[in-house]
Structure 1
Amino acid sequence: MFKKYSRIGLLVAASAIASTTGASAEGFKAENPQCIAPSNPGGGWDFICRTTAKYLFNLKVIEDSMQVTNMSGGGGGVAFAHVTKERNEDNNLIVAASMSTSARIAQGIYEGAEQDDVHFLATFGAEYGAIAVRADSPYTSLKQMMDDIVADPKSVGIAGGSSVGSFDHIKPMLVAREAGLADVTQMKYVSFDGGGEAMTGLLSGAVEALSGDFSEMLGFLESGDIRILTIMAPERLKNFPDISTAKEEGYDVVGANWRGLYMPAGATDEAKEFWKSAIMTLTQDPGFQAELEAAAIEPFNNFGDDMHKFVAGSIADVTKLSKEIGIIK
């Protein structure tokens, strides 16, 4: 299904690859830089900030170590409002963003928000969604779970690290629609503030399943705490060949989540150029790319005008898709 929406099924789109390196902008130098992760520790946004902060400092792109601040609430809305209303001219602030950020703007979850309220800096990766259960769950296949959901949509609680209508919510809805559920909005989705809390909900037994990004689940898969029923990729991942795809089980759904950053719209042009160049430098570092690969995140780079066009297209696509499945009118 995602193949119809090029910016949602991200990896079918062409990446805009940076051709220059170096984080320099005439007259600007980062001082006491900060990255806000709009969720609690343990999720994808937290990973973005901590990995970015680590490599920018290690590569000496910034002289001061970057403070990482977790600011959960409203599926990222608390952080978005904080940036736009209180720190709109902050030159030293960057914020983790993803498919969920553009989805919330599209669906009006960030009340009154528009793309240009912030300055979208870059994407640097994309990863596939997955559905997981506890290791001792009676569900051993995606089909078993979908059969139960079609029979009784409220019988299976599915956790996600973001709000109702988010990409974590949309992914299992698309699978359920493929399975034959007429009204996918009747599914039982339980929203948490971040992937870490959603995983806790799964492991505690509060829900039966978890919808999220594969990288957020990887450590728990390796520790034996969870079983991943499916990954929403076009084909099995090279490093995880035992995990079947949704398409293999008869559900033609591919879902990839972009990872990136935004900063205040009112920052200076020099600051915006500095941070764009900083992230471009980051993406060309072998160590950074190795860290993404270990987390099952594929390279997906957009900067400058390409980033603006990409986010605008993503918002348009989510709007169309959300209307199709009844999330918005």
Structure 2
Amino acid sequence: MLSLRPLYLATAALLLAAPALASEPKRPECIAPAAPGGGFDLTCKLAQSALVNEKLLSKPMRVTYMPGGVGAVAYNAVVAQRPADAGTLVAWSSGSLLNLAQGKFGRFDEGAVRWLAAVGTSYGAIAVKSDSPYQTLDDLVQALRQDPSKVVIGSGGTVGSQDWMQTALIAKAAGIPPRELRYVALEGGGEIVTALLGGHIQVGSTDISDSMPHLESGGMRLLAVFSEQRLDKPGMAQIPTAREQGYDIVWPVVRGFYVGPKVTDAEYAWWKTAFDKMLASDDFKTLREQRELFPFAMTGPQLDTYVKQQVADYKLLAREFGLIP
């Protein structure tokens, strides 16, 4: 008679050898590392909606806000205080990577967290109020050439931030020393819009996804978008690129999520699998488009490689502008 004991033993051995499968986090949370209303908030709420719609989370992920240093406070809090909290995602953008390249996140570098997913991209843009005297990007450049101190530019973060870099590239192309530009440091896209519409600044260096609701309401205009070509979406096709106006500047703003450095491989794999499924769904693509984001999907080790290459490239750019030695 054939004994099934060897089969049972072999099956048991395989189960013991297999890695433990993580379950859904009990209290999922997405930290938007800025005030409500900007790009980080948008990124968290996109995932919040999509993960539940796809039944990848059984209950909505809450969104909390941790402004400070355009991501630095949240980065340090997760690495130092919540490194193993598998339920906590933190939103990041290309601006976060630029700040990391300049050492603005303190003692932690780009290797301090686990890069999880990139879910879309926007593009940098230059915004003015709807009644601004500046009708084109060149109008703004001419005003800056005359007297840069008379044009107050609001940007997310201080000198060296992503928003600062966008206008620094314009200044460089126009032959104006970037350090002569007059900046007001604000905390993310929501504050930029508030300051611009309130008349506290004349120009906002922002991105197109933050701007669209206010363009549609008629409160502001975009002088330029930093994309390779005009964006083929409703409400965007009429916005000229910087490139077509004679300023060869392209600045994509990738958006995504990371988790703490001590999140286990199994917990990280659970999130990666969830995001891979979400990114492949048609419903997610619709939600992404509703938030004025363009396709950019990357997870896991591929994203880790991308992030570290981007940080290396940003270091070269920062050195060019004298921001780091």
Contact 1:119 1:263 in 2 (8 A): yes
C-alpha separation in 2, matches of 1:273 and 1:185? 44
C-alpha separation in 1, matches of 2:270 and 2:158? 32
C-alpha separation in 2, matches of 1:245 and 1:311? 26
* Equivalent residue in structure 1 for 2:144, among 149, 173, 185: 149
Summarize the alignment of residues 1-329 of structure 1 with structure 2, pairs less than 5 Å apart: 26-181=21-176, 183-239=177-233, 240-329=236-325
C-alpha separation in 2, matches of 1:286 and 1:172? 36
C-alpha separation in 2, matches of 1:81 and 1:209? 31
Contact 1:57 1:65 in 2 (8 A): yes
C-alpha separation in 1, matches of 2:306 and 2:201? 34
C-alpha separation in 2, matches of 1:201 and 1:263? 32
Shift of 1:108: 0.9
Contact 2:50 2:287 in 1 (8 A): no
Contact 1:161 1:196 in 2 (8 A): no
C-alpha separation in 2, matches of 1:287 and 1:27? 25
Letter paired with 1:242: Q
**What's the C-alpha RMSD, in Å, of the aligned pairs?**
1.3
Q: Deviations over 1:113-163 (max 9, x none)?
A: 211211111112111111010011111111011111123222211112334
Q: Deviations over 1:153-201 (max 9, x none)?
A: 22211112334311111011101111111x2122112111121111101
C-alpha separation in 2, matches of 1:262 and 1:164? 25
Contact 1:75 1:163 in 2 (8 A): no
Q: TM-score, normalised by structure 2?
A: 0.91
Contact 2:31 2:44 in 1 (8 A): yes
User: 86-95 or 25-34, which moves further after superposition?
Assistant: 25-34
Letter paired with 1:286: D
Bigger radius of gyration among the two: 2
Q: Deviations over 1:95-115 (max 9, x none)?
A: 001101111111011111211
C-alpha separation in 1, matches of 2:159 and 2:45? 26
C-alpha separation in 1, matches of 2:46 and 2:292? 14
User: 170-179 or 294-303, which moves further after superposition?
Assistant: 294-303
Contact 2:152 2:182 in 1 (8 A): yes
C-alpha separation in 1, matches of 2:278 and 2:288? 11
User: 183-192 or 267-276, which moves further after superposition?
Assistant: 183-192
Aligned-pair identity in percent equals: 36
C-alpha separation in 1, matches of 2:216 and 2:134? 19
Runs of 4+ more than 4 Å apart: none
User: 295-304 or 227-236, which moves further after superposition?
Assistant: 295-304
Contact 1:161 1:193 in 2 (8 A): yes
Distance 1:291 1:88, change over 3 A: same
C-alpha separation in 2, matches of 1:254 and 1:27? 41
C-alpha separation in 2, matches of 1:222 and 1:55? 24
Structure 2 counterpart of 1:8: none
Contact 1:120 1:262 in 2 (8 A): yes
What is the total number of aligned residue pairs between the two structures?
A: 304
User: 189-198 or 82-91, which moves further after superposition?
Assistant: 189-198
C-alpha separation in 1, matches of 2:280 and 2:250? 27
Distance 1:204 1:27, change over 3 A: closer
Higher relative contact order (CA 8 A, sep 6+): 1
Give unpaired runs (5+ residues) of structure 2: 1-19
